[in-house]
Every structure is written in structure tokens, then in C-alpha cells.
Structure 1
Amino acid sequence: MTENPNQPRAYDVVMGGQNTPPINAVVLGGIEGVKRRLANPEIEVRVAALKDALKYEEAGLDLIIQALQDKSNQIKFTAYSLLKDRTEPKVKQQLNKFFPRSQFDVITVNEFGQEISRRSQEARGFPEDLGKGVFLKMVSIPGGTFMMGSPETEKGRDSDEGPQHQVTVAPFFMGKYEVTQAQWKVVAALPQINISLNANPSRFKGANRPVQNVPWNEAQEFCARLSIKTGKTYRLPSEAEWEYACRAGTTTPFYFGETITTDLANYNGSSIYGSEWKGIDRQQTTDVGSFPPNAFGLYDMHGNVWEWCADSYHENYNGATSDGSVWESGGNNIRLVRGGSWFNSPAYCRSASRNSGALDYWYVILGFRVAVSSGFLL
């Protein structure tokens, strides 16, 4: 077989690369050299080896695919960044396992709560292994621009929901569900960073129900412990990220449309918002994921428990950030909660509805979900 003069051979040293050789190290050649460097304990050496592996066609591609299973998050996501735009079937198959797709139906209703459309949608994300058989499912939220807040004509609107303003949000990942009691218990057992955590704070018990009675500062502690465990920077979402993720491209009061029903969310169904019939007042939380998701594949963004955001509370959006970042300046120690709860009437569960609580305030209607920036993908 005639050798291709334009490709490295197994015994070649790769020339012309952009990576600086590690200090006090021997530069090994060929695919065998790449394999040797991938076994090096230094992360920087292994990252450089992965980038060089692309020069060796199929053999190098196979090494990068194998790196998707590496124990190091930095190596795994370096491999992902090198593969994400490739079209080979075997690469697509492995990426689907790495960031698996989920399919679901997106429902839209009219002011009477009647379903007027249903369409199939899919989302991608990844499961974070917390240990003890417990996983935290994260969903990819694409970046985009939206109008934050509510129009003055929206029913149930409060003055702190305006003025409406344009915000551009960068891509990030968000919890598919509110943090559950099972997830909380596992993370609460991890080493303390700043404050202690009660492993079982919730009133309505259930492993898959959302954790309740969680103050803002304890939600922050949860994120800090989770970050140390995983090597990713988990955090509470900004208020802008939360509303953008909740709306998922909609401009109506709810991501379901002009109203909601108790077939679609867990809230106080003895009250109505539009022209729908009264529904069920369950008077407690429900398992996460019990109701249909929005178009981003997020569940329970309306009702169940209020969800903490990172921002300080401001009485209106005058001077608000436009880049989706946390808004601190001019605020105070009161923090934002979003989404309404099982206790509230539907008006409080709207996409634009805002509420607040002190850093150490806890109650049976309060929970949270986590976010992580896409930057960990390198």
C-alpha cells in the first residue's frame, strides 16, 4: 500500500504543532507518542495530546472518543470540544451518549385551558452522578435574546415586572427539575464549605419531591459543595436566565400559553387565571416531572416550589443588566424567587412574576434548581 506523504506515520514526530512541549519532557512521535502522553498524570500534557491526536485520522479519532469516558472532567470536555462539530456516524453515536437527547411533547392551551396544539421537541443534556445511585439531570439552554418582564396589559401584573427590556442570555445548562430531596441529602453529606446543612429539611417527604425549607444561603452552600465534587462551577441561575429558560421562546403569561390548569402544573387550583375551570388544590408538593415540560425540556417552572435566583431584589427593572448576568448593584440582601408554588394562585406562577426573601428565610414553599455555565465545555 502506498503511504500518504501528507499524513504523519506511526514513527514520526509531529512537526509544526502549536502546543509547547512540557518542560523536562521528551517529545514522543507518532500515534504511540500520543498514547504515551495521554497516560501522563499532568492534565496539560493530556489535553495537548488530545489536540495532536486529530492529526492521525481514524486512530487519533478513536483515542479522542475514548477520552469521553475519562475520569477527568477537563479531559472529557476537551474531547467533546474536539468532536462536537464532526459528522462521522461513530462520533455522533458517542456524543449522543455523552449529551443524551430526550424527546417530549410541548403543549399550548388557550384562555379556556383547552389544548390547541401539541408538538414534538427534543433537548440535550447530561446526567451528573452525585453518588449512591442519585443523578442530577442538566439540560442545555441555547443562548438567545428575549423581552424580560411583562407588558402593562398582562393580567395579574405587578409594578416590579417592568419596564420590559431586552436581554441577551449566553448558553448555559439548567437543572431539568427542581433539586429533589434525594439530591439534597447526598450533597448535604459532602464536606462543609461555609455552613452546615440539614439533610432532611422538607415538610412533604419524598425522595423525588423538591426539597423545601431551604434558605438562599443554604442553596448557595449546596452549589459550593456540588462544585467541589464535580469540578464544575454550579450556581443559582440569574433572574434573567431563569425567566429566559422559563419562557423558552414564549411571550404569553405562561409557557403553556394564555393560562394554565392543574393538569399542567401544581398550584392552588381553587383560583383561576383565564377562563378555565377551577382545578385541584393539592395543598402539597408533587414529584418533580409530574407535569408537561416547556420547549427547552424544563419541568415545573410554574408552581410546585418557588425557586431561588442569585440576584438581589430591585423594585423595578430600571438599570437592570442586559447580558443575563446577576444584578447586584443598587440591591440589598433580599433575594429573588421565581415560579410560584403549590400554595399560590396561578397569577403568581406566571413567567414574569417575582417574589423575594431574606438570605436566611425558609418556608415550605421555597426550593431551587441549579445552573452551570457552558464554559466548562472549554
Structure 2
Amino acid sequence: MTENTDRPREYDAVLGGQNPPPIDAAVLGGLQGVKRRLANPEVEVRVAALSDALKYGEAGLDLIIQALQNESNQVKSTAYSLLINIRGRKFRQQIANFLPSFEFDAIAVNKLGQKISIGRRVARYFLEDLDNDIFLEMVLIPGGSFLMGSPETEAERQSYESPQHKVKISSFCMGKYPVKQAQWKAVAALPQINISLNPDPSCFKGANLPVEQVLWEEAVEFCARLSQKTGYTYRLPSEAEWEYACRAGTTTPFYFGETITSELVNYHRGETDTSEAGTTPVGIFPPNFFGLYDMHGNVFEWCADSWHDNYEGAPSDGSFWKSNDPNKLLRGGSWAYYPRVCRSAFRFRSDGRQRYPVIGFRVVCVAAWNQ
């Protein structure tokens, strides 16, 4: 049987360029050479080695999968991108099991606002490399069904939060945090798709503060540029996806329970509050049970849907709900609003033509292994 010479062999040497390698350089080729380079302290060397690993079949794939746990965000992001682009739907559907995970404390409160520790939770995620050591953290949200809207017994509910209806949601990935100003600036520097983006629109300044004063069409442009850069579909969440992700399996007004406190959420606490009002750095308050931060308070978040006065006729599959109404959906409440506006079911709207320091957004990415 003739040997396949196109496939690298384990003892092949890997030498680049015309110049001889340094005397002390590691020139061991083949799969062992890739392993040596993946252990190199230089991030650039490890990233380059990942592409070479693809040449070695299942053994090379194992190395790429292991790189998802690398301490370098750039290496992890590169490994994920390589895996997700491998042809074959069956393999892509297994990617979720390969994603790195993070642990977090799941917190709930009783009716008095006293913390109850639920214990440690685990969520899977991937990193999108925006260059210059800026990454977008995307958390895997498992598919499922839930009751959207508020029950008639919920305090301070609004009529436009009804009727409650069952919605089935497919798995997707959602930003771990609202889009940060550093992330916004990185994407604003990418080639324009439809409209220009101000790289620094926010009222409150800080790389780790959520971007705000963003129009709906600008949030859509952000997603379009990110999609073009990565080759994946980034977009605003549908209203149903947003509420499903916010609730994270809970049925209470807030994912923490019946109420919220200033130790859990950045919201308006009344006239007696003497603290300085404004946004807070993302991630300083506890996450929900999916591992998402700041879904209550801090900044409102744009959804893809048009405004409807109630849920009569709403889709049951989690898709966008369009209409001729010029107003777009906002969810989550903000630092300037009372708790009732920060509830999981609360719906708000804006025509998106004026800028407010209470409005930001977060992105979703259709689970790439389902594309």
C-alpha cells in the first residue's frame, strides 16, 4: 500500500524560511513539534502552532481542544475559532462540550433582601478576540422553555407584560456583560457597514463601564461590524431571548428573588440615597444562574423587537417580533430607575432617535455549531 505523503508524519521536521534555525532552537517536527510550540511561553508561537495542529487529524484536534483551557485569552479564542470552522455538523454540535467553563457563586435573597447562598455554579463560554488584548466574553445559554411575562399576582406589574405565554428558546450565546466601552471602541474602529460610529459616545467614562448613549441603529451597526470581522452571526437579542436569559430558570420578579438590594444591583434607591449616581463597572455585582452579569440595572439594553402593547399574537419560538411601530424594546432597567423597572418582565421602549446615559446593549451569537 502506498504511503500518503501529503499527510505530515510524526518525525517530519518543521522549518520555516531560508535561514537556518538558531543552534538552540527546537526543530523537532510533526506532532511532537506542535506540542513543543504549544508549550512555548510566547503567545504568538502557541497561536501559530494551533493552525499546524489541524494537519494531524484526531491527535491534532485533541491539542486544539486542550488549548481551550490555555491561560492566554488569545490562544483560547484562536482554538475556538479553529474548532468551530471545522466542516461537519456532527462535530460542531459537540463544540459546547469542549468550551472552557467558569465557576461563580449563585446568590438569591429572601423577601427581606437577606442573601441566601445557593452554591457554586458552572457556565461555559468562549472568547471573541477584538485585538489589542480586548476580548468579548460570550456565555452559552442552554435552550429550553419558559413562561414569558409577569403573572397577575406580581407586585407592580404592568398590563403590557401580559398575557403570560410559553416560549421555546434554542441555545445561543450571550454577552457575559453589557458591551463595555473598551469593546465598543475596538469595534467602532472596524470598517463601516452602514453608518459611522462615535468611538466614545458615553456620558460616564471608563474602559470597563458599559457603553451608553447608543442609538438602536448604532447597536445594530456594532453587531454588523463584529459579524464581518468574525464570520459569525452577531445581533441584538430578541425580547424573548433576553427575558429567558435574564430569568435563568427563575419565576420571581428578579433573578435574585422577590426583591433586590444595593449589594446586588445598581439602581435608583430613592431621594435619601446619597451615593453618586451613574453607571458602575460591569461584573461587580453577582451574576444570575446562567452566569450573566448586570441583567438588572446599570443600563437598559436594546432588543431587536419592535414595540407591541401586549403579548397577544407574540411568537412562541423566541424569534424577533416586528411591527410598524418605530419604538424599539428596552429591557433590564438602569441606575436611574426604581426596582420595579428592573424586574425580569418589565418592558420599556424608545424610538432610538435620542441618546440617553441609561441605554446600552449586549450582543448574542447564534450558537455557531447550529449554523
TM-score (normalised: structure 1) = 0.77
- Tell me the equivalent position of 1:230: 230
- Equivalences for 1:95-134 in 2 at 5 Å? 95=98, 99-134=99-134
The change in CA–CA distance for 1:117 and 1:359 in structure 2 (over 3 A counts) is same
One of 351, 354, 358 as aligned partner of 1:361: 354
Equivalent in the alignment of 2:294: 300
Which of residues 52, 57, 60 is equivalent to 1:63? 60
Asked whether the 8 Å contact 2:93–2:369 carries over to 1, the reply is: no
Structure 1 residue 11: deviation in Å?
2.8
- How far has the Cα of 1:267 moved from its partner? 0.1
Matched AA of 2:176: K
Number of the residue aligned with 2:84: 77
Residue type at the aligned position of 1:11 = E
Paired residues for 1:39-188 under 5 Å: 60-66=57-63, 75-79=82-86, 82=91, 95=98, 99-188=99-188
Measured in 2, the distance between the counterparts of 1:62 and 1:78 equals 17
Q: What SS class does the counterpart of residue 130 from structure 2 fall into?
A: strand
Residues 359 and 114 of structure 1: is their aligned pair in 2 closer, same or farther, counting only changes over 3 Å? same
Please point out which of 309, 312, 316 is paired with 2:310: 316
Match of 1:343 in 2: 336
- C-alpha change, 1:257 and 1:282, in structure 2 (3 Å) is farther
Q: Distance in 1 between matches of 2:100 and 2:64?
A: 17
State the 1:65 CA deviation: 3.0
SS in 2 for 1:131: coil
**2:359 partner amino acid:** L
Equivalent in the alignment of 1:11: 3
1:148 and 1:244 in contact (8 A); partners too: yes
Give CA-to-partner distance per residue, 1:235-273, whole Å, 9 cap, x none: 0000000000000000000000000001000001228xx
Deviation at 1:30, TM superposition (A): 7.0
Partner Cα separation in structure 1 for residue 261 and residue 2 of structure 2: 64
Q: 1:10 to 1:218 in 2, by over 3 A?
A: farther
Q: Secondary structure at the match of 1:293?
A: coil
CA distance in 2, matches of 1:264, 1:280: 18
Cα distance in 2 between the residues matched to 1:72 and 1:178: 24
Q: What one-letter code is carried by the residue in structure 1 that aligns with 2:91? A: L
Corresponding letter in the other structure for 2:317: D
2:19 aligned residue: none
| In structure 2, distance between residues paired with 1:318 and 1:281 | 41
- Residue 231 of structure 1 deviates from its aligned partner by 1.0
Partner of 2:21: none
The 2-side partners of 1:246 and 1:210 are apart by: 17
The residue aligned with 1:372 is 365
Distance (whole Å) between structure 2 residues aligned to residue 229 and residue 29 of structure 1: 32
Q: For residues 74 and 203 of structure 1, do their structure 2 counterparts lie closer, same or farther at Cα, with a shift above 3 Å needed? A: closer
Unaligned runs of 5+ in 2: 13-53, 66-74
TM-superposed CA distance for 1:73, in Å, is: 7.1
Quick check: 116-125 or 138-147, which moved more?
116-125
For 1:64 and 1:83, the matched residues in 2 are separated by 13
Report how far residue 64 of structure 1 moved: 2.2
Q: Deviations over 1:288-325 (max 9, x none)?
A: 00100000000000000000000001000000000001
What is the CA–CA distance in structure 2 between the aligned matches of 1:229 and 1:146, rounded to whole Å? 33
Match of 2:34 in 1: none
How many residues were matched structurally? 318
CA RMSD in angstroms comes to 2.9
Deviations 1:136-157, CA, capped at 9 Å, x for gaps:
1100000000000001111111
State percent identity of aligned pairs.
54
Q: Say if 2:107 and 2:256, in contact at 8 Å, map to a contact too.
A: yes
CA change 1:255–1:30 in 2 (3 A) is: same
CA pair 84-164 structure 1, distance change in 2 beyond 3 A: closer
The answer to whether the Cα contact below 8 Å between 1:262 and 1:279 also exists between their aligned partners in 2 is: no
CA distance in 2, matches of 1:248, 1:289: 17
1:2-54 per-residue CA deviation (whole Å, 9 max, x = no partner) reads xxxxxxx8837xxxxxxxxxxxxxxx88776xx9xxxxxxxxxxxxxx7xx9x
Per the normalisation by structure 2, the TM-score is 0.79
Q: Assess if the C-alpha contact under 8 Å between 1:145 and 1:167 holds in 2.
A: yes
Describe the shift of the 1:199–1:77 C-alpha distance in structure 2 as closer, same or farther (beyond 3 A): same
Structure 1 365/331 Cα, relative in aligned 2: closer, same or farther at 3 Å?
A: same
